Amino acid sequence: MTRRDWIHGWLLVLPAMALLALFTHLPAVTTVWNSFFSTPRGRRPAVFVGLDNYERLLNDPIFWKVLTNNLWFALGTIPASIALAIAMALFVNQSFLGRGFVRMAYFTPTVLPLIAVANIWLFFYTPGFGLIDQLIGLFGYGQTNLLGSPDTALGAIMVVTVWKEAGFFMIFYLAALQTIPPQLTEAARIEGASSWTIFRRITFPLLMPTTLFVSVNAVINSFRLVDHIFILTGGGPDNASSLLLFYIYETSFRFWDTAYGATLTVVMLVLLCILAIGQFFLFDRKVHYK
């Protein structure tokens, strides 16, 4: 390549590079940098403290609490929403009367604004006269406070998340299902395969690229969730429903402990990188791309 071509190339890449560097790479590096300093307060500037922030993190019971919460949250929501998404996609991939309506209904939670969704569920969960209490009241059960008790708060949020995510993932699965030629299923049927065998040996393996894509997204989403928690529980009671990002938000912007917030963020970034890389390497061997 001539010198001129090089300049041309760099000029073409420049706008995107500038945006990425300014809003992604630079903040990431600054975050790592900040995590080695103390939080500046008033006239006291930030001082280099080395790994002090990380030591504090290791001894922080709330950090471990939200990390465990996040783990349970991911384990609870990801497989459930993926399984539900596949089931819904398989269902609406058949032809029946009102299929368009059902597809739309499944996708509605994705279209609705997060804040509105959280508020609707807040009403569902309301002790005494919420939808859930009214329903179980019919069977003679008493009042519940699903969002208010430490044992059920996280579970209640997980239900909302699955409800919200499954419809979105279903769209990907539906698109993938429609690229599988129906002759494959027919050929398998003639060879005596049951519906379950067809799903296990043909449909599901052919959906693997989608599953990989969806699960990477789902993992990232599970670490990114704050909005539901804001409306539904505020992380409580006693951090029972607080997740990592919510804790970062509270630390950095409510308690304004930016240095510790930066430290938590670094941990989360590292965690997400490991997970994403791991998923790609682990799954990739089992995924058939066309």
Residues between 222 and 261 that touch another protein (CB under 8 A): none
Tokens 């040996």 belong to residue: 201
Supply angle C-alpha 16, 18, 21, rounded to 5.
105
Residue 2 tokens, joined: 């001539």
Does 202 interact with another protein (rule: CB under 8 A)? yes
Residue of 177, 200, 176, 174 whose CA lies nearest to 188: 200
Does 127 interact with another protein (rule: CB under 8 A)? no
CB 202 to another protein: min, Å: 6
d(CA 99, CA 105): 10
Residue of 278, 277, 246 whose CA lies nearest to 62: 246
Residue of 133, 116, 135 whose CA lies nearest to 125: 133
Residue of 258, 176, 162 whose CA lies nearest to 212: 176
Does 288 interact with another protein (rule: CB under 8 A)? yes
Does 290 interact with another protein (rule: CB under 8 A)? yes
Does 199 interact with another protein (rule: CB under 8 A)? no
Which of 28, 134, 197, 273 forms a contact with another protein (CB under 8 A)? 197
The region that residue 194 occupies, defined by phi over 0 for left and psi between -120 and 50 for alpha, beta otherwise, is: beta
CB 89 to another protein: min, Å: 18
Please, which residue, 143 or 178, has the CB nearer to another protein? 178
Does 55 interact with another protein (rule: CB under 8 A)? no
Does 137 interact with another protein (rule: CB under 8 A)? no
C-beta separation of 203 from 91 below 8 A: no
C-beta separation of 263 from 57 below 8 A: yes
Judged by CB under 8 A, which stretch of 1-9, 125-133, 160-168, 181-189 contacts another protein?
181-189
Which of 90, 122, 171, 193 forms a contact with another protein (CB under 8 A)? 193
- What residues contact residue 13 under an 8 Å CB cut-off, 6+ apart? none
CB 180 to another protein: min, Å: 9
Please, which residue, 2 or 183, has the CB nearer to another protein? 183
Which of 181, 238, 253, 274 forms a contact with another protein (CB under 8 A)? 181
CB 9 to another protein: min, Å: 34
d(CA 199, CA 239): 41
Binding stretches for another protein (CB under 8 A) = 181, 183-184, 186-194, 197, 201-202, 205-206, 208, 288, 290
